[in-house]
A and B are shown apart, each in its own frame.
Chain A
Amino acid sequence: MRDAAIIGYAQGPQYRYAGAANESELIMPVVRRVMEQVGVGQQDIDFTCSGSCDYLQGAAFAFVEGLSALATVPPIKESHVEMDAAWAVYEALIKIWTGEADLCLVYGFGKSSPGELRTVMALQLDPYYHVPLWPDAISLAALQARAMLDSGAISERDMAEVVARSRANARANPNAQLKGNPGIEELLAEPGFVSPLRRHDCPPITDGASAMIVASADVAARYCKRPAWVRGIDHRMETGILGARDLTRSPSTRIAGEKAGVARGKVDLAELHAPFSHQEIILRRELGLADAVPVNLSGGALAGNTMMAAGLDRIGFVAERIINGKADRGVAHATSGPCLQQNLVAVLEA
């Protein structure tokens, strides 16, 4: 299997409400930026893959609309996952590994502002037994946080520390939606939202898009001085029945981390797709990251959570720091489904 690397990444501004801008208008600027960064045009791309979800737009075929952001005449080789675009990166890598593509464009986008996101997300559950109860996404995450607190694994202070660090780190990310320098006591003094979660333990509603270019070893050096090589990548699923899971653990993250080879070298930084503060602690533990490893220098999903792009963003931020020479080896993680049901882990190296 030949090597593959990430050679470019662009994140768009993360808005609470993108107004009348449609999905294509969110995608077009980031696709253009990543192509300019790498120095390629659509005609150079062998394969394009995107990640999006119809239920965010509230209409079938969101990705068809998304495609109008690209130059598609002559027609392009293309696919789409109805998932976070981190899995579109995986599909692009598979294409490179088969030898059918050398240069791939990946993008993810979501405009969550028009709907009631937390309620819409309930539709991810068993449609016959669970959906009729309408357990919303925040309430499910709260159940998980409660299980974590009850198990003694964390305290509310630990959760507040994740939030404070995330907001402080986000100050260095011009696209981040929520940034600042809140004190722990200040955060703990805020009222409960869905117990035990406070509002700041939950991700913001975000409209946005991100794009990435993935290349085979045959062409990566032509476009990028210091590619971020994908040394390992794996993803795993868990049962959809919440009651059958120990919500304080994430065995799928653990397997994916082992398969991706997280422990095979020093980790300079990690970007973990933890939409809720307590989830970062679960992920960190399952990946076996040392306390000294900086996590979510971008601010993470707590500072901006573009649905279907937030996992791609984690891979993108690690790649960007490697490409810019600020790190040599990093771990990126993406998640899908309620309470970290499905997880992807990638190890990138200079």
Chain B
Amino acid sequence: MANLAAVVGVGQTKHKSKHKDVSMAGLVRQAAERALADAGCEWKDIDALVLGKAPDMFEGVMMPELYLTDALGGNGKPVIRVHTAGSVGGSTAILAANYVQSGVYNRVLTVTFEKQSESNATWALSPRMPFVPHVNAGAGGFFAPYMRQYKEKYGAPDYIGCMVAVKDRLNACRNPYAHLQIPNIDLAMVQQSPMLWEPVRFLESCPSSDGACALVIANEQLALRAPNKPAWILGSSTRSDGTMYAGKDNVHPQSLIACARDVYAKSGITNPRKQIDVAELYIPFSWYEPMYLETLGFCGEGEGWKMVESGATAMTGDMPINASGGVLSSNPIGASGMLRFGEAALQVRGMAGEHQVDGARLAIGHAFGGAHSYYAMWAVSADKP
């Protein structure tokens, strides 16, 4: 069976609308240097580089690993580039973990980024293609009907989405890297913000961010010698399915159910709400929190909005979700999934600073991409399996 692997270094940049201070190369290098510092190692200690990001059109650089190799110490080394839509940050981290678990490499650096200010994501997401009707809706317009479906099917009150937005933004105020810092945010402020795509208001939507995330993943022997506590990778998985097919459930996607089951089985998780101390979930629009709470088995069908309403998912609740502020507070798309995976690692290492959940020992990171068609997840633990 596979060798053990652990996260021994986590690095990220400050996430913001426009990183005019650095080039793309400077951005990824900043995150990578921070991850190396955390791991107590240098460029020469890295065996291979696993790079991921969302569509190349978001920056206008084709296969950017070719250009970024110089900034990431990739020259003379194996470099690979993953792209699995929005879930890429997660699937990139998983491939990096697999590199070590396979025994081929001892210590790898994995980096993801997006510098959205270099281009226009909504333009890149809505190309005019031959023989296909042009929607030009961007991501929000595409996902809004499914959130309406959830809200209507389970009779969730309108303010549930707003509650998620307030919670994540207040959490973000404890995370110095988070893009949106709105310390005076409250329910009324979110409710008064403009409606973008019914039921999603402006403040219930993720921002467009420039940012990068990097992880150093090492084998058992190196992890035990690392200067800071390792986050042991218990299990990881991905699932993909078609964009549209008859009977596809877009509220509780079959692909996410299968992905979560696989990760839970590999990690010995039988009661997610009881066993998992904190979860970092890819929630780009507020209503995805109650939807994913149900799909991931934290509560029963139709109970997700009640769980949000009860405050269970706040920092002070029994099942804190997105203590970092999540995608609603920072969204460098290609890195958003890896930030979830990395924040989960920080929590079980006890290194999450002001947004640390006390005593967190088991955490999950989750990433979502495509039209509910790409999922990646992992579970990390403070305890060596």
A75, A87, A98, A127: the one contacting B258 at CB < 8 Å is A75
A134: interface (CB < 8 Å): no
Q: Which of chain A's residues 178-207 have a Cβ closer than 8 Å to chain B?
A: none
A91, B49: Cα distance in complex, Å: 13
A336, B81: Cα distance in complex, Å: 11
- A residues within 8 A CB of B193? none
Chain B 53-88 against A: per-residue CB contact (8 Å), 1 yes, 0 no? 011111111110111111000111111111111000
B2, B76, B83, B98: the one contacting A63 at CB < 8 Å is B83
- B residues within 8 A CB of A338? 66
How far apart are A335's CB and chain B's nearest CB, in angstroms?
11
**Cβ A100 vs Cβ B240 within 8 A:** no
A48, A60, A78, A125: the one contacting B57 at CB < 8 Å is A60
- B residues within 8 A CB of A294? none
- B residues within 8 A CB of A60? 54-58, 124-125, 127
- B residues within 8 A CB of A72? 240-242, 245
- A residues within 8 A CB of B245? 72-73
- A residues within 8 A CB of B63? 53, 55, 82-83, 124, 336-337
**Cβ B1 vs Cβ A20 within 8 A:** no
- B residues within 8 A CB of A1? 102-104
**Cβ A123 vs Cβ B61 within 8 A:** yes
A59: interface (CB < 8 Å): yes
A61, A94, A97, A121: the one contacting B55 at CB < 8 Å is A61
A251, B241: Cα distance in complex, Å: 40
- A residues within 8 A CB of B124? 60
Q: Which of chain A's residues 33-88 have a Cβ closer than 8 Å to chain B?
A: 48, 53-55, 58-61, 63-64, 67-68, 72-83, 87
**Which residues of B does A touch, CB under 8 Å?**
1-2, 23-24, 49, 54-63, 65-70, 74-85, 91, 95, 98-99, 101-104, 118, 124-125, 127, 129-131, 237-243, 245, 254-255, 258-259, 370-371, 373-374
**Which residues of A does B touch, CB under 8 Å?**
1, 20, 22, 48, 53-55, 58-61, 63-64, 67-68, 72-83, 87, 90-91, 94-95, 97-100, 120-121, 123-128, 131, 234-241, 251-252, 255, 336-338, 341-342
Given contacts A55-B57, A79-B95, A338-B66, 12 further A-B contacts (CB under 8 A): A1-B103, A55-B56, A59-B57, A60-B56, A60-B57, A60-B127, A67-B242, A78-B240, A91-B95, A94-B95, A94-B99, A127-B60
Q: Could you write out 24 A-B pairs with CB less than 8 Å apart?
A: A1-B103, A1-B104, A54-B55, A55-B56, A68-B242, A74-B241, A76-B240, A78-B84, A79-B95, A81-B80, A81-B81, A82-B63, A82-B81, A83-B80, A121-B62, A123-B61, A124-B63, A126-B67, A235-B79, A237-B66, A237-B69, A240-B66, A241-B70, A338-B66
